[in-house]
Structure formats: structure tokens, C-alpha cells
């Protein structure tokens, strides 16, 4: 009796799963590879990218650094550049 779910006729369920190349996402939480951290990082990078598209150069990619650069740009009326200001 085979337990193949993909129709290829694998001898065991494990062989079928290996053939499908199944991976478990964020299974290494001991290395801080968790979903929450990944989403926070994506959000930070999206904010940084948005600032760069506006011509603003924040000091870094963290939210507070990007927010500071955006606020300073609004108050000064010119795009903030951390390396020259």
C-alpha cells in the first residue's frame, strides 16, 4: 500500500514529501527567523524605499530614522539628506 499523494507512486509518504520539496517556513525560531520579525523588517524597508523614492536619504532603515527624515523634510521644505545635513 503506497501513501503517495502526488500520483507518482512513491513507496512511502516521506519519499512523496521529499519529491515535493516541502519546506516549513520560519521553523528556526531559535535563530530569530520568525514571521513577526520578518514582517517588521519588510515594513521598515518599505518605508525606507518610499522615502528614497521621494529623494530623501534617512540615516538608516529603521522606522524612527525614516520618520525623522520625513518630518525634517516636511519642515524644511527640501529633501533631507543625512550625509550632508
Is the pTM value of this prediction over 0.85? no
Cβ neighbours, 10 Å, residue 40: 12
Q: What is the pLDDT of residue 44?
A: 94
* Buried residues in 58-71 as b, exposed as e (16+ CB within 10 A): beebeeebbebbbe
Return the higher-pLDDT residue of 20 and 64.
64
Domain boundaries, the chain: 1-33, 35-85
Q: CB-side exposure of 31: number of CA atoms within 13 Å?
A: 5
Residue 26 has what pLDDT? 65
pLDDT tens, residue by residue, 23-82: 776 666 556 667 777 788 899 999 999 999 999 999 999 999 999 999 999 999 999 999
Comparing CA positions, the residue from 81, 79, 84, 85 lying closest to residue 54 is 79
Amino acid at each position: 500500500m503506497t501513501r503517495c499523494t502526488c500520483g507518482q507512486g512513491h513507496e512511502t509518504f516521506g519519499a512523496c514529501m521529499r519529491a515535493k520539496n516541502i519546506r516549513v517556513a520560519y521553523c528556526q525560531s531559535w535563530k530569530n527567523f520568525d514571521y513577526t520579525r520578518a514582517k517588521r523588517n519588510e515594513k521598515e524597508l518599505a518605508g525606507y524605499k518610499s522615502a528614497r523614492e521621494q529623494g530623501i536619504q534617512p540615516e538608516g532603515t529603521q522606522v524612527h530614522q525614516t520618520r525623522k527624515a520625513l518630518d525634517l523634510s516636511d519642515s524644511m521644505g527640501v529633501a533631507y539628506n543625512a550625509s550632508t545635513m
